[in-house]
Amino acid sequence: MKRINWFGFIFISPVLIMVLLFFLTPVVMTGFFSFTNMSTSTGIKGGEYLINQETIKEIKKYNIKKDTIEKLENAGYLIDDEGLKIVSQKYKESLSNEIKSFYLGEKFSNRKDLERALKKLKKNKIKKTRDRKEIAEIFKESIINERFNSKSIFEENLIKLEINENDRAIIIEESYTGWSWTNNNFKLIYNLPSSYKFAFYTLIYVSFTLTFNVVFGLFLAISTFYLPSKTASTFRTIWFLPRILPPVLYVLMWKWFTWDTGFISQMSSYFGAAPKNWMMDSPIHAWTVIVLINGFVGASFGMILFSSAIKAIPSSMLYASEVDGANRWQQIWNIIIPQLRWPIMFTTAYQTLSLLTSFEYILLATNGGPGRSTEVWALAAYHTALQNYAGNLQYGLGATYALVLVIIGIIASLFYLKFFNFKDLVSKPRIEG
């Protein structure tokens, strides 16, 4: 028995590896990113400490002292040994010694005061104004636009500026350019009005498209079942084309059909109607086209699945119903549809999860327009993380949008299993006496 178990484990191990790599790992990574503030501005490898004008604006929002801001912006100029060494290397050692003898340890509030002091030197006169400015910049204490690789070094420079401990903590936090752990993404999604719009648009998209997929797919399957075999095969092949066509080509055909220079506008122009883009003219038109684009793709999937299930129904049941005088509608309602309970459940569950996470046809057709009125939740996650309108790609926030979809998908799956009584569907057939 042990050999059989080990053999079975070895046989199924490639499947387990695939599940780990392509299902569990992306979900875990999505959860990881969702609790961070990662973006193009923070990077994903860590960061450094940098104070610039944007940082100053953010710091001003906190309750910190005004003199702290002044110290950051105008830290002044200090004659110290480090600066003197640079002067000795870049200019002359005698110039460095003369500056040291007169001004070592002295602090100047601005560059002009230091330039005046340098102008008073007698043995090593600095005649050019440009040279005095360059030497003055060597002793500059301001840390604006200066990059620090570690927190300790950055804090040491803040201490030199005599910034108190509370203000230092705020400055250190706001100056960090790398990512950090946070749950603010979830709070932001909860508070953003756009999140509720995306949720509502997703509900519209899933509800209407799912209904079209299942109902129309079931209609196609039943209709072709009563057709001659060759005619039914040809009909199913035609309806299956949207499924096998590349999405770009498929959407391009719809654009040719609905644009202001497309088929509908050309035909309506013969009746005096002005040409217009029927896909992007209004939110209602956009949603109609989106439901149809996705609906025909999903209906072809349902049609094939339902057709196979109908063919599996014993023909004796249908012949017996005809002997009993049942018409086509009675056969469909009392025999065919009850036998399709499992395929309908599978199609509904599969299409729901697929529609929740899919956005490629919407991206290609409307890109969320007009006016983001077709921006579903999955498309918002894509735009936030990979193609942001503002330019800054927010990986953490985009991952949070995606994680919400994962949670909703799990809840929806559990609901369908309960609603369709999954245990009875997969249980052994009950054989009477």
**pLDDT by residue (tens digit) across 230-272?**
888 888 888 888 888 899 999 999 999 998 888 888 888 888 8
Q: What is the pLDDT of residue 383?
A: 93
Q: What is the pTM of this model?
A: 0.76
Query: How many Cα atoms occupy the beta-carbon half-sphere of 102 within 13 Å?
Result: 14
Reported confidence tier of residue 433, pLDDT bands at 50, 70, 90: very low
Peptide bond into 370 cis (omega under 30): yes
Domains and CATH numbers, the chain: 48-74+144-177 (no CATH), 76-141 (no CATH), 187-424 (1.10.3720.10)
d(CA 303, CA 393) in angstroms, rounded, equals 40
Q: Alpha-carbon torsion 295, 296, 301, 307, what sign? A: positive
User: Residue 395, Cβ neighbours under 10 Å: how many?
Assistant: 21
Instruction: Say how many Å lie between the first and final Cα of the chain, rounded.
Output: 35
- Rounded to whole angstroms, the Cα distance separating 151 from 143 reads 14
User: What is the tens place of the pLDDT at every residue in 164-207?
Assistant: 888 888 888 888 888 888 899 999 999 999 999 999 999 999 99
